[in-house]
Protein backbone atom coordinates (compact mmCIF):
# COMPACT_ATOMS: atom_id res chain seq x y z
CA UNK A 1 0.00 0.00 0.00
CA UNK A 2 1.26 3.49 -0.73
CA UNK A 3 1.91 6.00 2.00
CA UNK A 4 -0.75 8.65 2.53
CA UNK A 5 -0.19 12.13 1.16
CA UNK A 6 -1.28 15.16 3.09
CA UNK A 7 -1.39 17.68 0.25
CA UNK A 8 -1.19 16.71 -3.43
CA UNK A 9 1.37 18.73 -5.39
CA UNK A 10 -0.57 18.59 -8.67
CA UNK A 11 -3.24 21.34 -9.04
CA UNK A 12 -5.58 18.97 -10.90
CA UNK A 13 -5.30 16.39 -8.13
CA UNK A 14 -5.86 19.07 -5.46
CA UNK A 15 -9.05 20.10 -7.27
CA UNK A 16 -10.22 16.47 -7.49
CA UNK A 17 -9.59 16.01 -3.75
CA UNK A 18 -11.59 19.15 -2.94
CA UNK A 19 -14.52 18.17 -5.17
CA UNK A 20 -14.67 14.57 -3.96
CA UNK A 21 -14.37 15.63 -0.32
CA UNK A 22 -17.17 18.20 -0.71
CA UNK A 23 -19.46 15.65 -2.39
CA UNK A 24 -18.72 13.11 0.34
CA UNK A 25 -19.50 15.63 3.09
CA UNK A 26 -22.74 16.65 1.32
CA UNK A 27 -23.80 13.00 1.12
CA UNK A 28 -22.63 11.60 4.47
CA UNK A 29 -22.24 14.68 6.68
CA UNK A 30 -18.61 13.99 7.58
CA UNK A 31 -15.14 14.06 6.04
CA UNK A 32 -13.98 10.87 4.34
CA UNK A 33 -11.37 8.76 6.11
CA UNK A 34 -9.47 8.40 2.86
CA UNK A 35 -9.42 9.12 -0.87
CA UNK A 36 -8.07 6.76 -3.52
CA UNK A 37 -7.23 7.43 -7.16
CA UNK A 38 -6.72 5.22 -10.19
CA UNK A 39 -5.55 6.63 -13.53
CA UNK A 40 -7.46 5.98 -16.73
CA UNK A 41 -5.95 3.46 -19.13
CA UNK A 42 -6.71 2.11 -22.59
CA UNK A 43 -5.32 -1.00 -24.24
CA UNK A 44 -5.31 -0.53 -28.01
CA UNK A 45 -4.09 -4.09 -28.48
CA UNK A 46 -3.27 -6.89 -26.11
CA UNK A 47 -6.09 -7.03 -23.60
CA UNK A 48 -5.22 -9.92 -21.22
CA UNK A 49 -2.20 -10.99 -23.26
CA UNK A 50 0.54 -9.24 -21.31
CA UNK A 51 0.74 -12.03 -18.74
CA UNK A 52 0.98 -14.61 -21.56
CA UNK A 53 4.03 -12.99 -23.21
CA UNK A 54 1.83 -11.34 -25.84
CA UNK A 55 2.04 -7.89 -27.36
CA UNK A 56 0.40 -4.97 -25.58
CA UNK A 57 -0.08 -1.28 -26.33
CA UNK A 58 -1.57 0.44 -23.27
CA UNK A 59 -1.51 4.17 -22.60
CA UNK A 60 -2.70 6.45 -19.83
CA UNK A 61 -5.70 8.77 -20.08
CA UNK A 62 -6.20 12.09 -18.31
CA UNK A 63 -9.41 10.82 -16.70
CA UNK A 64 -9.27 9.12 -13.33
CA UNK A 65 -11.47 7.26 -10.92
CA UNK A 66 -11.73 8.75 -7.44
CA UNK A 67 -13.17 6.87 -4.46
CA UNK A 68 -13.78 8.15 -0.94
CA UNK A 69 -14.73 6.24 2.19
Going by C-alpha positions, the residue among 13, 33, 32 that lies closest to residue 24 is 32
Asked whether residue 60 is domain-assigned, the answer is yes
Asked whether the beta carbons of 59 and 44 are under 8 A apart, the reply is yes
Domain encompassing residue 52: 11-68
d(CA 20, CA 15): 9
Asked whether residue 49 is domain-assigned, the answer is yes
4-50 pLDDT, tens digit each? 666 777 888 889 889 999 999 999 999 999 888 888 988 888 777 77
In this structure, are strands 58-68 and 35-43 parallel, antiparallel, or unpaired?
antiparallel
> What sections of 1-69 are H helices per DSSP?
11-28
Asked whether residue 6 is domain-assigned, the answer is no
Can you give the pTM of this predicted structure? 0.66
Asked whether residue 42 is domain-assigned, the answer is yes
pLDDT of residue 1: 58
Asked whether residue 26 is domain-assigned, the answer is yes
Radius of gyration of the chain (CA): 16
pLDDT of residue 3: 67
> How many folded domains does the chain comprise?
1
Say whether pLDDT at 56 is over 90.
no
Asked whether residue 4 is domain-assigned, the answer is no
Query: How many residues comprise the chain?
Result: 69
Asked whether residue 53 is domain-assigned, the answer is yes
Amino acid sequence: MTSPINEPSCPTLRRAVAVETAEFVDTYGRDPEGLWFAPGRVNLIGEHTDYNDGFVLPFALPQRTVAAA
